[in-house]
Amino acid sequence: MEVVALVGPAGSGKSHRAQIVAHQNECELIVDDGLLIDTEGRIRAGTSAKREENKMAAVRRAIFLDEDHRAEVRSVLWSLKPKRVLVLGTSDEMVERICDALDLPHPDRTIRIEEIATPAQIRLAQRKRYHEGKHVIPAPTFEVKKTFSGYMVDPLRFFFKRDHGLGPVTVEKSVVRPTFSSLGRFFIADTVIAAIATRAAEMVPGIGRVGRVVVESRREGVLVDMEVLLRYGYHIFDVLRQAQEAVAQQIAHMTDLNVLEVNLEARRLLVD
């Protein structure tokens, strides 16, 4: 197994360019900020350092100091048997520490961010990081939402051409604002989610009234259980399906939470 390193200061745009560098160097997996990501953008293992409460905890997560985290990523990485892995770090020493933690060989080649980005591009990336608190994760939004439920996650998509006449590659990434770079904390109470769910369901033709709503909040998202009263004359399964979709879409739209399940139970039939 070979290792390619991408090294540059924090906020210089390494994650932004990780997928491109991986494709250009035929790397099958990317190790970035505590995550193991494949070149299709799927998060295979790990926990993002960007979820940590402070910068010190984020650094510890990024270099795999937590034993369970290290074991999980190492196990998945070696089970996939990649020929080449791209490892991102702020210094040669950091990359070597990551490699040691995951039982990887030290890099065969090191790419400096200055080799693939202009000074102006690096300054722009650092301005986004330090003035706007924005961080890039080299994975699509639907993947990132699984671990960043409730965070503002913005998608990025672009194309780049490959050498030797090969077809273009579509790269999808996500922009998040981590806990440790935000202005403060905010919470969305379960009662607010229940109110959104109730309003969304009651807007669906055929729903007469919403009864009990139970919201279960998890780290990866929310589950909603609802009891509804239906109006006579409507196709029951169509109404329930529409209400289920409306509730999930409205919660996701208004809160950026990852909706894991919406379970509806028809309790009564209202006859006017």
Which tens digits make up the pLDDT trace of 82-96? Answer: 999 999 999 999 999
Residue 206 has pLDDT above 70, yes or no: yes
Backbone angles phi, psi at 65, to 5 degrees: -80, -25
Residue 135 has pLDDT above 70, yes or no: no
pLDDT > 70 in the chain, percent: 76
**Would you tell me how many other CB atoms lie within 10 Å of the CB of residue 185?**
7
User: So what's the pLDDT on residue 181?
Assistant: 47
- Burial class (CB within 10 angstroms; exposed 0-12, middle 13-18, buried 19+) of 227: middle
- Using an 8 Å Cβ cutoff, are 176 and 144 in contact? yes
User: So what's the pLDDT on residue 55?
Assistant: 79
User: So what's the pLDDT on residue 191?
Assistant: 85
Residue 187 has pLDDT above 70, yes or no: no
Residue 129 has pLDDT above 60, yes or no: no
Q: Which domains, from first to last, does the chain contain?
A: 2-181 (no CATH), 190-270 (3.30.70.1350)
> Side chain identity at 23, as an amino acid letter?
H
User: So what's the pLDDT on residue 77?
Assistant: 96
- Using an 8 Å Cβ cutoff, are 31 and 86 in contact? yes
Please write the tens of the pLDDT for every residue from 137-175. 555 554 455 555 545 444 444 444 445 444 554 444 445
If pLDDT is split at 50, 70 and 90, which confidence band does 200 have? very high
More reliable by pLDDT, 250 or 187: 250
User: So what's the pLDDT on residue 177?
Assistant: 53
CA distance 159 to 171: 6
Q: What is the reported pTM?
A: 0.58
| Residues ≥6 apart with Cβ < 8 Å to 12 | 113, 117, 122, 125, 126
**What rounded mean pLDDT belongs to the chain?**
81
Q: Look up residue 80 and give its two tokens.
A: 């996939």
Q: Which of 113-117, 136-140, 200-204, 265-269 has the lowest mean pLDDT?
A: 136-140
More reliable by pLDDT, 81 or 135: 81
Please write the tens of the pLDDT for every residue from 2-31. 999 999 988 788 888 888 888 889 999 999
Residue 133 has pLDDT above 60, yes or no: no
Please write the tens of the pLDDT for every residue from 216-253. 887 778 899 999 999 999 999 999 999 999 999 998 88
If pLDDT is split at 50, 70 and 90, which confidence band does 180 have? very low
